[in-house]
Structure formats: C-alpha cells, structure tokens
Amino acid sequence: MTVNSGFTLSRTGTDLRNRTVLAAMTNKQSEQDGTLSKAEIKWLLRRAEGGFAIVTTAASHVHPSGKSWEGEMGVWGDHQIPRLAELADGIRERGAVSLAQVFHGGLRAPRSLTGQQPVSASENREDGVEEISRELSSSEITDLVDAFAEAAERCEKAGFDGVEVHGAHGYLICQFLGEKTNRRNDRWGGNLIGRSLFLREIVRAIRSRTSEAFIVSVRLSPQIDNIGVSLRDSIELARMLADWDVDIIHISCWDAFVGAENEPEDPRTITRRFREAIPPSFPLLSTGSVWTEEDAEFVLGEGADLIGVARVAIAHPNWASRLGDGGYEPNRPPFTPEHLLDADLSPVFVDYMRKWRGYVTDGRE
Ligand SMILES: Cc1cc2nc3c(=O)[nH]c(=O)nc-3n(C[C@H](O)[C@H](O)[C@H](O)COP(=O)(O)O)c2cc1C
C-alpha cells in the first residue's frame, strides 16, 4: 500500500483515487453573508485538479452565531447553495470527493461579527477573545444540533459528498469536549459520555437528515491542555466514534512525527496510538507537518489510511499528482507572493498567509 493506491470508505463504499486529503483551510475569501467567492472556488478546484482524493472546504459556520472571523464561509442559508453547488460539481468533475467542514466558533465567535454575546458549553474566557461567553441553555444546544444537521442537509442538496464535523482546535464542539471549558452539571457535561453528547447528537441528527451515501468525517484534536482535552479521552472518544456511523476519524496532530507531549516514555506516534485503539479497518485520517512523499509514507506506515496536508498544498497545488516515484520533495517556505498568486491564491489569501510564520517572503518571520 502506498500513498498513491486507491482506498474505499467502508460504510458508504466511496472509492478514493489515492490516500491524499486536502485538509480544511480557512482562507478569508468568502463574502460577507458567508457565500463562497469565485476566488475561493478557484483555489479549491485547482487542488481537485491537482490530484487530491478528498478536497475539504474551509471551516464553515452552521449558524450566524458561530462566525469567528471575516471572510468565513457559511453553510447556514439557502442563499449559499448556488456557489456551494458550483464548488461541489467542480470537485466531482475533477475526480475528487468533496467534504464541507462544518463548525461553530462558540466562545471564539465575537459580538463584532455576530451581534451577540459569544456562547459556549460554560461561561468561558480565552486570551485574545473580546468578551466572556455565556453558557448555552439545553434548548439552545438542541437548536444548534439542528443547525448542524440542516447545514449538512444543505451541503448534500448542493452536491457535496459529505461533511467533516469540526470537533478540533478549540471551537464549540471542542469546548464541549474539554473538561476545562465544559463545567456543566446537566446531561451535556460531566464525564466523557456527557461532554461528547453534543457531538454524538450532531452526528445522529446529520445521519437522520442525509442519505446513507453521505460521508461524515469527524475531526478531533488529540490533546489541548488549556481546553482540557486529554489524549486518553480523545482515544476513548475515537473508540466511541467507531460505533456511531461515522465514516472517517480525522486526527489533527499538527506534527504527525512525534509522540504525546507529556509522555516521553511512550515513543509511539499519536497516529499509531489511535490506530491501535480503533478497529483495524476503521478509516483513519491523520494530518500534521507532512511535506514530502517520504513523510506521507511514514504516516501511512504508522497506521493512517489517509494523509491530510495543508501548508504544502497551498504552495504546491499538484502535490497529490506528483507523488508516485517515492522521491517527491517539494520546495519549502518562504514563498514569494508571485508564486502563491500563480498557485491560485487571491491577494486576500496571500495576505492571510503573511501571518503564518515564515510562509511568505515578505510576511511574518
Ligand atoms: C491557512 C490555514 C488555515 C487553516 N484553517 C483550518 C480550518 O479552517 N479548519 C481546520 O480544521 N484546520 C485548519 N487548519 C489546519 C490544517 O487543516 C492542518 O491541520 C494544519 O495546517 C497541519 O497540517 P500541515 O502541516 O500540512 O499544514 C488551517 C491551516 C492553515 C495553514
């Protein structure tokens, strides 16, 4: 098995042309009302053309109250369907499978964008956010579960093959999962079963409103200390997810080559630990610091079925189709703005990439 070999998602029977996934990337190019812009469609279609098996959209809010930054894609209204359909059709025509990443910013969705106080599992404050969040009521939680399901239904109507539920990186679902950010005493909090109920209900509701063939991937952060997400809980949650009609578990490792942060005595990579915990045939996607073909093969060797990449695909749109002879070593950052514009990033996106350390020649060092 190599990164170039095909793979079939077991539950839906969806055939993937290889093991590569374009991971979700925020690019700030959507319109004010959450509609995809032509520039955003162009950047994603170029990667579908470049051979990726799965193309994931940027994080997209499922409800206006969940918007976390300017230019964020939305999947909360039918006005967004025509452009979603243009993207989904284009991805399919280029031989790739499409996933829309669905999320809610929770405590990171500021009043300046939503017109309301941020909401979360509990009252929470985080460095860098403008305002303390308030705790959601039980009925508001159920409404947000419905918003996720409606958004998924809308994505299917627009022609998407599936969604990736964003349970990683500290946004609302992750705020429910975390012991520190979820201090509720009702059924939505407490032990891991309670803290993961929001995610459980979202998956269940999506399943009830979409067809059998619709793919549901769930993205998790293995460990985030300030939210209270522990590796042990995340592995236990992955075991639970394998029984929830989920099609892919996606672990966001940031660095797929290292072991757990605070367990130097255990040299196993995070990917290996998840692989060993979930059923051997359950589709596992792992992302984090893969740059070369050798890197991708290493992570496959650790037990991932699919390899996600983000930063390398910004500069190298054909990354996936260049794999094959074993030795592909694409150039590394920094990249000139001209190079990135040639790779179909718009000036807005290039500007956003200037904030990522060392990525653009005239950006942050
Ligand atoms: C510009 C940029 C935007 C990102 N936006 C998202 C996002 O919207 N949702 C998400 O889950 N991860 C997001 N990520 C994280 C990536 O999906 C990926 O997990 C991370 O960059 C590590 O992979 P890499 O080393 O291949 O870049 C983003 C990363 C980058 C570089």
pLDDT digits (tens, 9 = 90+) for 265-302: 999 999 999 999 999 999 999 999 999 999 999 999 99
Q: Whose CA is nearest to atom 25 of ligand 1?
A: 289
CA–CA gap between residue 174 and residue 195 (Å, rounded): 9
Distance 186 CA to ligand 1 centre (A): 33
CA–CA gap between residue 93 and residue 96 (Å, rounded): 8
CA–CA gap between residue 363 and residue 365 (Å, rounded): 6
How would residue 1 be classed by pLDDT, with cut points 50, 70 and 90? Answer: confident
Helix (H, G, I), strand (E, B) or coil at 122: coil
When pLDDT is averaged across residues 348-353 and rounded to a whole number, the result is 98
Q: Which of 49, 77, 16 is nearest to 215 (CA)?
A: 16
* Residue 353 pLDDT > 90: yes
What phi and psi, each to the nearest 5 degrees, are found at residue 3? -65, -20
Query: Could you read off the pLDDT of 152-170 as tens digits, one per residue?
Result: 999 999 999 999 999 999 9
For 11, the enclosing helix (H) or strand (E) is: none
Report the CATH architecture of 7-332: Alpha-Beta Barrel (3.20)
Residue 57, ligand 1, Cβ within 6 A: no
| CB neighbour list of residue 294: distance below 8 Å, 6 or more residues apart | 326, 327, 329
Give the pLDDT of residue 177.
98
| CB neighbour list of residue 115: distance below 8 Å, 6 or more residues apart | none
Ligand 1 atom showing the smallest separation from residue 311 Cα: 27
When pLDDT is averaged across residues 344-355 and rounded to a whole number, the result is 97
Identify the bridge partners of residue 100 per DSSP, sorted by sequence position. Answer: 163
* Average pLDDT of every residue of the chain: 97
Distance 288 CA to ligand 1 centre (A): 9
Q: Which of 280, 338, 268 is nearest to 304 (CA)?
A: 280
What count of other Cβ atoms lies within 10 Å of the Cβ of residue 281? Answer: 9
Residue recorded with tokens 């809010």: 61
Distance 66 CA to ligand 1 centre (A): 19
CA–CA gap between residue 84 and residue 76 (Å, rounded): 11
Distance 250 CA to ligand 1 centre (A): 12
| CB neighbour list of residue 348: distance below 8 Å, 6 or more residues apart | 27, 28, 29, 39, 71
Q: pTM value? A: 0.98
Q: How far apart are the first and last CA of the chain?
A: 38
Residue 309, ligand 1, Cβ within 6 A: yes
Q: Which of 191, 201, 264, 258 is nearest to 228 (CA)?
A: 191
Residue recorded with tokens 């929770």: 106
Question: With contact defined as beta carbons under 8 Å apart, do 325 and 290 qualify?
Answer: no
When pLDDT is averaged across residues 359-365 and rounded to a whole number, the result is 95
| CB neighbour list of residue 244: distance below 8 Å, 6 or more residues apart | 200, 203, 204
* Residue 325 pLDDT > 90: no
Residue 221, ligand 1, Cβ within 6 A: no
Identify the bridge partners of residue 24 per DSSP, sorted by sequence position. Answer: none
Give the pLDDT of residue 253.
97
Where are the chain's structural domains?
Answer: 7-332
Q: Which of 152, 138, 11 is nearest to 75 (CA)?
A: 152
What does DSSP assign to residue 335? B
Question: With contact defined as beta carbons under 8 Å apart, do 188 and 197 qualify?
Answer: yes
Residue 58, ligand 1, Cβ within 6 A: yes
Tokens of 87: 């993207």
CA–CA gap between residue 197 and residue 351 (Å, rounded): 38
Helix (H, G, I), strand (E, B) or coil at 285: strand
Query: Could you read off the pLDDT of 126-145 as tens digits, one per residue?
Result: 998 989 999 999 999 999 99
When pLDDT is averaged across residues 255-271 and rounded to a whole number, the result is 94
Identify the bridge partners of residue 220 per DSSP, sorted by sequence position. Answer: 167, 251
Query: Could you read off the pLDDT of 178-231 as tens digits, one per residue?
Result: 999 999 999 999 999 999 999 999 999 999 999 999 999 999 999 999 999 999
Question: With contact defined as beta carbons under 8 Å apart, do 109 and 61 qualify?
Answer: yes
